[in-house]
Amino acid sequence: GAVVSQHPSRVICKSGTSVKIECRSLDFQATTMFWYRQFPKQSLMLMATSNEGSKATYEQGVEKDKFLINHASLTLSTLTVTSAHPEDSSFYICSASSSQPHSEQYFGPGTRLTVT
Amino acid sequence: AQSVAQPEDQVNVAEGNPLTVKCTYSVSGNPYLFWYVQYPNRGLQFLLKYITGDNLVKGSYGFEAEFNKSQTSFHLKKPSALVSDSALYFCAVRDVEGYQKVTFGTGTKLQVIP
CA distance B88 to B38: 5
In chain B, % of residues over pLDDT 70: 96
Is A43 an 8 Å CB contact of chain B? yes
For residue B99, pLDDT over 80 is answered with no
Nearest to A104 among B42, B49, B105 (CB): B49
Confidence (pLDDT) at B89? 96
Nearest to B102 among A4, A6, A105 (CB): A105
* Average pLDDT estimate for A34-50: 87
pLDDT tens track for B22-42: 999 998 888 899 999 998 878
Residue contact B104–A106, C-beta within 8 A: no
Residue contact A43–B100, C-beta within 8 A: no
Closest by Cα among B11, B3, B5, B4 to B113: B11
Q: Which residues of B touch A107 (CB under 8 A)?
A: 36, 43-46
Of residues B87 and B97, which shows the higher confidence score? B87
CA distance A41 to B7: 15
Q: Tell me the count of A-B CB pairs closer than 8 A.
A: 49
Confidence (pLDDT) at A44? 86
Test the B interface: residue of A3, A11, A23, A43 with most B CBs within 10 Å: A43
Dihedral angle over CA of B95, A111, B46, A58, nearest 10: 10
Test the B interface: residue of A105, A112, A113 with most B CBs within 10 Å: A105
Q: Are B86 and B78 in contact (CB under 8 A)?
A: no
Q: A-contacting residues of B 28-67, CB under 8 Å?
A: 32, 34, 36, 41-46, 49, 51
In chain A, % of residues over pLDDT 90: 66
Nearest to B104 among A44, A97, A102 (CB): A44
Other C-beta atoms closer than 10 Å to the C-beta of B10 total 10
Is A21 an 8 Å CB contact of chain B? no
pLDDT tens track for A82-91: 999 999 999 9
CA distance B35 to A103: 14
